[in-house]
């Protein structure tokens, strides 16, 4: 397919030709940089404070974000990873030929390098007086942004790229013109770093387990299927790490965690992307109860590391993660919210009938657990704005969790909610191999084999458990959603660098 250039791009291609005809390489191999933009400004301020006469000589590099030619002089701003700094080009300093070169052939978006002396302009802005400059990389396509304005020291961008489709399809352009987008991903990295530090300091071992799996499991989700050609074997992209991580407990690794990608072949929404990042950890001799306190401690640690605060704003709410978080049983929460005591309805049929009496609409053919889960999502989750642990879940939607003693319908499990979203999910892990096998078979009966959430029986997992698995508590949390909370973004696409979009048809 022949690439078609716009008139703006053709103008810049002609500039490349002109540069080359003058013996100037528009994409030189190397740059020499002595200071970042902010470091150069700092160096000048330091020299000023010391009232030294020593001139601050620097070589800076960055992307041209503003040019203001005024005849015999021209002001420009370049932006680098640290910030932005003004450049002053003067014909007296450079000569007419170099001045013309800059004004005629350099464009917004080009990467350039400039050397000279730092000084302060009449308006007080610390600026590089340019003695030498060169092109580092010519931009052919103009950046999708208008010029910047500086108001009281703050950069105000006009006509900034806002079309979500372009922003996500051409995330590089979004990042290039929207600095706050870059900040989201710095925050995201800081969150992951804080989680690792927290777990590493507590004796956890970070591990990696298979992404390509012969049997998927550990969650109720439809998998992506792929194929190994040479082995002639279908494989699944993992939907969770759970079953592999717990195998490691059998092997004597008592505290393990993994941060990585899960893949679920389901609909996309503001809080669902087909691939997303998950943290899971498993702790021998822990249980769901101790995991609640551990979760509170971990989230507080992350917030303090990343935000320097336990309080943040999300979607117009001030959220405070200071422990203890609200704790309420799923049963009690549903009594409060919809007036149904699930303990009174031991079967799916009776619960569905009760829901109809309360003018709710039970999904046809759903199991008791799925009905409860449905009410949870509709009537509980959106209202859990402040951090809340919901605990004691129905057994039939939790096939890997251990029974609550004395209550055969309920398992020791909790989910943590913040900002009206499920953030994490944890339970006391089932470690009885015979019961685990029975649970898988139970699932097999209740969910038809056509059901997308049908759980395949992982015999090797049973085999592992039969060697003896220490009692343990497991935990899973969506990193994307935690990032949404800490950056006050309300769509998962904002916190994923390259979110999934439908392919565009070539024409």
Site for RNA in 24-43 (CB under 7 A): none
85: which strand partners?
78
Tokens of 307: 């935000």
Q: What's the min distance (Å) between Cβ of 426 and RNA?
A: 10
User: Is there a contact between 67 and 74 (Cβ–Cβ < 8 Å)?
Assistant: yes
If one asks whether residue 7 binds RNA (CB under 7 A), the answer comes out as yes
CA distance 437 to 441: 6
Choose among 288, 279, 479: nearest CA to 389.
Answer: 288
Give the 3-state secondary structure of 247-287. Answer: HHHHCCCCEEEEEEEEECCCCCECCECCEEEEEEEEEECCC
What is the spatial distance between Cα 413 and Cα 389, in angstroms, rounded to a whole number? Answer: 10
Based on the number of CB atoms within 10 Å of its own CB, is 57 exposed (0-12), middle (13-18) or buried (19 or more)?
Answer: middle
Q: Which residue lies nearer to RNA by CB, 266 or 488?
A: 266
Find the part of the chain contacting RNA (CB under 7 A) among 204-212, 255-263, 265-273, 302-310.
Answer: 265-273
Instruction: Report 399-428 residues binding RNA (CB under 7 A).
Output: 399-400, 415, 422, 425
- Using the rule CB under 7 A, which residue among 146, 357, 434, 438 binds RNA? 146
User: Does residue 95 interact with RNA by CB under 7 A?
Assistant: no
Integer Cα distance of 278 and 269 in angstroms: 17
- Cβ neighbours around 283 below 10 Å, total: 25
Do the beta carbons of residue 142 and residue 68 sit within 8 Å? no
397 is a site residue for RNA (CB under 7 A): yes
CB of 230 to RNA, least distance (A): 32
Does position 48 interact with RNA (CB under 7 A)? The reply is: no
Least Cβ distance, residue 357 to RNA (angstroms): 19
Under rule CB under 7 A, residue 66 binds RNA: yes
Touching RNA, residues 148-207 (CB under 7 A): 148-151, 158-166, 168
Q: Tell me which stretch binds RNA (CB under 7 A): 47-55, 196-204, 317-325, 362-370.
A: 362-370
Residues 6+ apart with CB under 8 A from 356: 362
Verify binding: residue 310, RNA, rule CB under 7 A. Answer: no
Instruction: Return the residue of 23, 71, 316, 406 that touches RNA, per CB under 7 A.
Output: 71
Residue 491 engages RNA in binding (rule: CB under 7 A): yes
Cα–Cα distance, 458 to 437 (Å, whole number): 9
Question: Per CB under 7 A, does 269 bind RNA?
Answer: yes
Query: Is 73 among the residues that bind RNA (CB under 7 A)?
Result: yes
Using CB under 7 A as the binding rule, whether residue 313 contacts RNA is answered as: no
In the complex, the smallest distance separating the C-beta of residue 449 from RNA, rounded to whole angstroms, is 15
**Which position among 17, 121, 226, 313 is part of the footprint of RNA (CB under 7 A)?**
121
């Amino acid at each position: 397919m022949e690439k078609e250039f716009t008139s703006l791009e053709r103008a810049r291609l002609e500039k490349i030709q002109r540069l080359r005809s003058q013996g100037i390489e528009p994409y030189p191999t190397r740059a020499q940089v002595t200071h970042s933009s902010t470091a150069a400004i700092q160096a000048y301020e330091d020299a000023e404070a010391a009232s030294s006469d020593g001139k601050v000589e620097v070589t800076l590099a960055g992307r041209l974000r503003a040019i203001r030619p005024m005849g015999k002089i021209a002001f420009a701003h370049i932006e680098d990873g640290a910030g932005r700094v003004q450049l002053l080009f003067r014909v007296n300093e450079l000569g007419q030929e170099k001045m013309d070169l800059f004004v005629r052939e350099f464009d917004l978006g080009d990467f350039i390098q400039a050397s000279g002396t730092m000084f302060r302009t009449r308006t007080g802005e610390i600026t590089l007086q340019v003695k030498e400059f060169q092109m580092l990389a010519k931009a052919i396509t103009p950046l999708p942004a208008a010029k910047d304005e500086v108001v009281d020291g703050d950069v105000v961008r006009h006509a900034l790229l806002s079309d979500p489709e372009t922003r996500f399809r051409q995330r590089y352009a979004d990042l290039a013109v929207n600095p706050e987008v870059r900040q989201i991903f710095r925050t995201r990295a800081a969150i992951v770093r804080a989680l690792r530090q927290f777990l590493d300091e507590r004796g956890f071992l970070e591990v990696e387990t298979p992404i390509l799996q012969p049997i998927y499991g550990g969650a109720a989700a439809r998998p992506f299927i792929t194929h190994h050609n040479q082995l002639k074997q279908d494989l699944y992209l993992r939907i969770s790490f759970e079953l592999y991580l717990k195998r490691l407990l059998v092997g004597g690794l008592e505290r393990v965690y993994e941060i990585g990608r899960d893949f679920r072949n389901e609909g996309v929404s503001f809080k669902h992307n087909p691939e997303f990042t998950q943290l899971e950890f498993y702790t021998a001799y822990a249980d769901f109860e101790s995991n609640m306190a551990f979760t509170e401690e971990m989230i507080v640690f992350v917030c303090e590391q990343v935000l320097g605060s336990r309080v943040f704003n999300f979607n117009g709410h001030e959220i405070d993660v200071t422990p203890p978080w609200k704790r309420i049983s799923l049963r009690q929460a549903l009594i409060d919210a919809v007036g149904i005591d699930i303990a009174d309805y031991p079967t799916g049929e009776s619960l569905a009938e009760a829901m109809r009496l309360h003018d709710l609409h039970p999904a046809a053919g759903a199991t008791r657990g799925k009905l409860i889960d449905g009410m949870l999502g509709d009537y509980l989750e959106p209202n859990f704005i402040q951090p809340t642990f919901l605990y004691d879940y129905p057994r039939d939607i939790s096939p890997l969790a251990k029974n609550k003693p004395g209550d055969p319908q309920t398992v020791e499990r909790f989910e943590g909610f913040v900002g009206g979203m499920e953030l994490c999910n944890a339970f006391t892990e089932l470690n009885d191999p015979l019961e685990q096998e029975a649970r898988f078979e139970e699932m097999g009966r209740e969910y038809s084999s056509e059901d997308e959430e049908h759980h395949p029986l992982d015999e090797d997992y049973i085999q592992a458990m039969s060697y003896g698995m220490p009692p343990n508590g497991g935990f899973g949390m969506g990193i994307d959603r935690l990032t949404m909370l800490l950056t006050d973004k309300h769509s998962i696409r904002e916190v994923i660098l390259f979110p999934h979009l439908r392919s565009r048809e070539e024409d």
